[in-house]
Structure 1
Amino acid sequence: MHESVLLSLLWIAGAAALAPIIVGLLPGPRIPEVVLLLTLGIMIGPFGFELATKSEPIELLSELGLGLLFLLAGLEIDPASVASRTGARAGVAWVVSLAVAMGLMALLSLATELEAWAAIAIALTSTALGTLLPILRDTGLKDQPLGRAVMVNGAIGELGPILAMSLLLTGGNAWGALLSLVTFAVLAALINGAIVRHWTRAEKVVEIVRHGAETTAQAPLRLVVLLLVGMLALSTAFGLDIILGAFIAGATVRVLLPPDHATFMARLDGMAFGLLVPVFFVTSGMAIDYRVVLDRWGTVLVLFAMIVLIRGLPVYLAFRDLPGREPVRVALFSATGLPIIVAVTTVAVTAGSMTIEGQSLVVAAGMLTVLVLPLLAVELGNVRPRSPAPG
């Protein structure tokens, strides 16, 4: 058993190590690494060359990667930007997207007996903020008004689907979802408010944690590991939602970080993207049946168009007061969604409400958004408007 697990892990680790090298060697526009991780997962998985299998130990690593992915999303969220006027506009745009997606998917489920319509609707409204961040940094857009608008829409496009997943994708256990939401909200309130701000010894604890970031104690990293394992334990014991818990855990860790926490983030990124998050994406790719995608490529294109319209159009209307082509570019960036799509469909498949075939089609549409929309948004910024003819 151990030999087969280690062999599968070897192929998964090899795919994770090979992906950035291939991305660097490929000519033309830079392909997001997550697309390549999923593709390599398809190749080594049971629908490809059957080189690796998802055993229980690898499933555990994949769950830790999923939790860490959403913990990082919680760390990226700036509460001030979400609570701003721009955040309110982005929130309204996302709510409109969710309402349209839910209504459309519900009608399709009545007409065609569509399975997992709620999961598909949530997937159509996501934004891949983690995927967009490197693109915004490399192009110098992150600190421009366009980049700030994209960041806020990305934050809402991650937070909204996470909350919707927690409430709607619980295998029919709505009370469990509400308990999950209330439990983690109370935990965050206790740590952020009651303890950190009002407990006299809290300042000393926070100081120890912050000081430990620069020593061999690595206190913040150990706290992250504790929170991740705690989320898994709670979700297993009480049926709570690990994704929402990990997201709130990220927001909680943010409070304990020193003002200049770039070094800690670099170490956390190393732990996350060095092993656990790539394992999650590669194993997610192993569950994709590429034959279904090839046989039903028309469905993939329809889903791709639905993502662009359902997620992009409300964002365009909410930010149409931006100059020139900026509203279109913000909409294209905001309609780029893959990590959340993978997570939503994985949760739905685990809950038994979605088939592998359905997940393969939705994830393929998400891969198209990552491949096409950011490149198109960047190119729109490089095209200069024509000058009027003289005379």
Structure 2
Amino acid sequence: MNRDLIYLVLIFCLLVVPRALQRFRIPAPVTSLVAGIVAVFVFGEETHDPVLALLSTIGISSLFLFAGLEVDPGALKRRWKPLLTHLAVRALSLFALGWLAWRFLDLGWQASGLLALALLTPSTGFILDTLERLGLDDEEAFWVTNKAIAGEIVALAALFVMLQAGDMQQLALSSAAMLALVIGVPLLFIALGRWVVPHAKGSEFSLLVMVGLVAAYVTYKLGVYYLVGAFIVGVIARLLHERMPKLASEENLHALRLFATFFVPIYFFSAGTHVPPSALGPKALAIGLVLTVVLLPLRIGIVWLQRRVMFGESSGSSMRVALALTPTLVFTLVLAGILYSRFGLPESWLGALVIYTVLNTMLPSLLLRTPIDLSPNAPGAEHPEDEVPDSPAVAPVEAGQPATADRRGA
């Protein structure tokens, strides 16, 4: 079959089939990941295509660029005490799990720390993309968003240090390069805003994406993967909102979300093709199930207890927030690949991490979302996004399409 036609069929299937299966409460990224695993079983090394690699890089970069744009410094500052407590508990959990991995799995301290990050760090980009379909109220959505963002900021900082800490000279050079990136990106945005945007109306989105991709490539060359640079650009663009309001406007945020929707399925498919068939044996299944049975209740219980003790919330509301924070999909896949390729993680553990992240990613969709009613006017509909509004001034939201409501004001 012609290669161009293969690309076309593959992209069509990745954009349509996973979205269609969401009606059965199967998250679209999980479907794409499983499709990649199946493809490598059938076609082997032929699935490692440079075009797919490029498209998957755009996907992961755009996802973390979107997550960075969702950072609201004002909201983090207003609620800093409970968020700081949440981060302190998370840091203690990471240290404890990292120590256990170092003590009992015969891993170096860097690999142990990365394994702890892979197992405990919520996937902010994925959580934000699915949040509106989980039926949370505004307060619950606010806390899920900001807890996930705060946790990801800390996790990215820890990832940077852990990957570079084996060579202190390299760490110093990488830190200097990262500082230059943090200083240079806002200067670049200001320069583009002064000399390019006035002569190219509507170019803010394309400039935002390109700067994000360049920064992602820079951090990849520094050895800390694409997601760090893309996230930093998103945060900086949000901080420049007053000076360049169109850069991080709601229109750009919505456009970036749609842009990521096209490329992210290719990233998950590509990630699946890099899981060796030999990594998904009985041993991997056993380890993955043990990790899920042990860690998932602990993670949910810790967040649930925080909400109950600190805010006096009802058990149900605390449980919904805890469940919404369980998916670790992107972070687990990224760190599993790094651990396998750079730190010699056994194949069985690579497969176990994939099984673990698939199970914890499916949990919120299975427990928080009610089945989709294909008749949107049916009485008793429980989710507003599945209903046709009474007012003709508000356009109905099609099934499977992200809502555009502004969660920042929650």
Equivalent residue number for residue 258 of structure 1? 246
Equivalent residue number for residue 217 of structure 2? 232
Aligned counterparts of 2:85 and 2:172: Cα–Cα separation in 1: 23
Equivalent residue number for residue 358 of structure 1? 349
Equivalent residue number for residue 245 of structure 1? 229
Q: What's the CA shift for 1:214?
A: 5.0
Equivalent residue number for residue 114 of structure 2? 119
Once the two structures are superposed, residues 144-178 of structure 1 have per-residue CA deviations (whole angstroms, 9 ceiling, x without a partner) of: 11111111112123222222211113472355345
Equivalent residue number for residue 74 of structure 1? 68
Change over 3 Å in CA distance of 1:326–1:355 after alignment to 2? same
Aligned counterparts of 1:345 and 1:376: Cα–Cα separation in 2: 26
Question: Could you say what secondary structure the match of 1:77 adopts?
Answer: coil
Once the two structures are superposed, residues 73-118 of structure 1 have per-residue CA deviations (whole angstroms, 9 ceiling, x without a partner) of: 2112222222232x54234324423433332343343334247322
How many residues align? The count is 361
Change over 3 Å in CA distance of 1:231–1:100 after alignment to 2? closer
Contact 1:176 1:240 in 2 (8 A): no
Equivalent residue number for residue 389 of structure 1? none
Contact 2:65 2:212 in 1 (8 A): no
Aligned counterparts of 1:337 and 1:110: Cα–Cα separation in 2: 24
Matches within 5 A, 1:1-391: 7=3, 11=6, 14-26=9-21, 29-45=24-40, 47-50=41-44, 52-56=46-50, 58-85=52-79, 87-114=80-107, 116-141=111-136, 144-170=138-164, 172-177=166-171, 179-185=173-179, 187-189=181-183, 192=186, 206=193, 214-215=201-202, 218-233=203-218, 235-236=220-221, 239=223, 242-254=226-238, 255=240, 256-258=244-246, 261-275=249-263, 277-289=264-276, 292-296=279-283, 297-320=285-308, 321-378=312-369
Aligned counterparts of 1:75 and 1:234: Cα–Cα separation in 2: 18
More displaced stretch, 57-66 vs 120-129: 57-66
Contact 1:11 1:52 in 2 (8 A): no
Once the two structures are superposed, residues 277-330 of structure 1 have per-residue CA deviations (whole angstroms, 9 ceiling, x without a partner) of: 333211110122455434132211122234424533332222112224111221
TM-score (ref. length: structure 1): 0.78
One-letter identity of the residue aligned with 1:280: Y
One-letter identity of the residue aligned with 2:290: V
Alpha-carbon RMSD across the aligned residues, in angstroms, is: 3.4
Contact 1:288 1:357 in 2 (8 A): no
One-letter identity of the residue aligned with 1:31: I
TM-score (ref. length: structure 2): 0.75
Change over 3 Å in CA distance of 1:373–1:266 after alignment to 2? closer
Aligned counterparts of 1:146 and 1:110: Cα–Cα separation in 2: 37
Change over 3 Å in CA distance of 1:271–1:136 after alignment to 2? closer
One-letter identity of the residue aligned with 1:92: T
Aligned counterparts of 2:19 and 2:64: Cα–Cα separation in 1: 26
Contact 1:292 1:357 in 2 (8 A): yes
Aligned counterparts of 2:200 and 2:70: Cα–Cα separation in 1: 18
One-letter identity of the residue aligned with 1:144: D
One-letter identity of the residue aligned with 1:269: R
Unaligned runs of 5+ in 1: 197-201, 383-391
Aligned counterparts of 2:76 and 2:172: Cα–Cα separation in 1: 23
Contact 1:308 1:332 in 2 (8 A): no
One-letter identity of the residue aligned with 1:228: L
